[in-house]
């Protein structure tokens, strides 16, 4: 499991941003006053961002807070999430069929 600081650094590098540019992008999108120094401390693990900052990072870079924290979604929730995003007007029976199909696919693993 990667640390929060490592996750933040990966997001920043994936977006080809310096620490200053990372802070500026969040500030621009969220109206905050994050500094390069704060980003440096977050990445090094010296301090962790407050909840409000985590939310701002997640919204600005379209990532989940769970992902930033290295949490994994339980398998059952993940199946329901996939089915939910396939189509908004699936019936309960169609959702059950999707779940059965996913279980079938898993049963084919060697």
Biggest distance spanned by C-alpha atoms of the chain:
53
Each residue's pLDDT tens digit, 38-82 = 999 999 999 999 999 999 999 999 888 888 887 765 555 555 566
Please say if the pLDDT value at position 3 is more than 90. Answer: no
**Joined tokens for residue 84:** 């939910």
**Other residues' Cβ atoms within 10 Å of the Cβ of residue 23:** 22
Each residue's pLDDT tens digit, 12-41 = 999 999 999 999 999 999 999 999 999 999
Q: What is the CATH number of domain 4-69?
A: 1.10.260.40
Measured at the alpha carbon of residue 38, what is the angle toward residues 35 and 44, in degrees to the nearest 5? 145
Percentage, residues of the chain above pLDDT 90: 52
Decide: residue 36, CB within 10 A, 0-12 exposed, 13-18 middle, 19+ buried: middle
Q: What is the pTM of this model?
A: 0.63
The sign of the torsion formed by the CA atoms of 88, 89, 94, 95 equals positive
Domain with CATH 1.10.260.40 in the chain: 4-69
Q: How far apart are CA 63 and CA 66, in angstroms?
A: 9
């Amino acid at each position: 499991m990667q640390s929060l600081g490592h996750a933040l650094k990966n997001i920043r590098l994936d977006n080809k941003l310096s620490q200053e540019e990372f802070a500026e992008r969040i500030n621009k999108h969220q109206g905050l006053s994050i500094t390069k120094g704060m980003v440096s401390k977050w990445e090094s693990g010296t301090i962790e961002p407050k909840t409000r900052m985590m939310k701002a990072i997640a919204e600005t870079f379209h990532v989940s807070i769970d992902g930033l924290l290295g949490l994994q979604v339980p398998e059952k929730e993940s199946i329901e999430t996939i089915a939910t995003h396939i189509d908004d007007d699936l019936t309960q029976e169609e959702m059950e069929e999707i779940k059965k199909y996913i279980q079938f696919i898993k049963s084919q693993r060697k």
